[in-house]
Amino acid sequence: MGDRLKGKVVVVTGAASGIGAGTAERFVEEGARVILADIQEGPGSALSEKLGADTRFIRTDVTDEAQVAAAVDFAVSEFGRLDCMINNAGIVGAVGPIHETPRDAWDATIAVLLTGTYLGAKHAARVMIPQKSGNILSISSTAGMAGGLGPHAYTAAKHAVIGLTKSISSELNQYGIRANAVAPGNTATAMTADVITGDPQSLSGAEDAIASMSPLGIAGVPVDIANALLYLASDEARYVSGHCLLVDSGQLAGGTPAQFSSADPGLIREAGGRN
């Protein structure tokens, strides 16, 4: 237990699983009070019960502006303020060759990964500007920094998240609000386990596969990304804004092969679900 975030109120979207769940747990350990905002009601409620009185769960579809606004308002009503918004909710989304990518799958991907981030930033700023303080953190990806590392819609959205982060930083810094992004590399979550092993429950299989590709010989796990977010959320990063922090074992420096352009067209949703 620590106190690097003591007294801070945080909203984490996509908090019921994967990087979001790891971030919520890590932030509570450091003294934060956390709103767990996720479309997955069962896992989200269970995590809140596990983490205790410093958390609340609210069902949140990040593509629905009213629900994102409600999550932000819930933080203020429950804990009195909002210090940090973490736009983490994500899906792999549309996969397949560009000439076969379905339009509805493309739109659904952009809605979660980019529009959801915009809505989180919008409603966080609504609360933070009058406070004259705050911190907006968004999850990009190594696929947001290079081509060939993710599906086309995912890659486009994650590049855009970095651009949006820089843009809102340039606007909001005058109010004492910092905006930064984190770009994870391969990280063992249900979503990546589904992509790598075909089984979203096979986290150990995903870890083994990721470790075999890692320049450092180890797998990234949610707490690795949570620790990067923790630094950016803390006062230790008080002079950092408009930045994207890459957390990928050095893999992007060496390059990795494309994985998704030959996949069967479709849509991969939260926690590895498909339709």
| Alpha carbons 78 and 86: distance in angstroms, whole number | 18
Query: Catalytic one among 48, 138, 141, 234?
Result: 141
Active-site annotation holds for 8? no
Active-site annotation holds for 158? yes
Nearest to 59 by CA among 77, 83, 43: 43
Query: Catalytic one among 48, 154, 214, 234?
Result: 154
Q: By the 8 A CB rule, do 128 and 147 touch?
A: no
Query: What residues contact 73, with CB distance under 8 A and at least 6 apart?
Result: none
Query: Catalytic one among 48, 158, 234, 249?
Result: 158
Q: By the 8 A CB rule, do 59 and 32 touch?
A: no
Active-site annotation holds for 118? no
Sequential DSSP letters for 88-116: -----EEES-GGG--HHHHHHHHIIIIIH
| Alpha carbons 259 and 148: distance in angstroms, whole number | 7
| Alpha carbons 48 and 36: distance in angstroms, whole number | 7
Which residues are known to be catalytic? 141, 154, 158
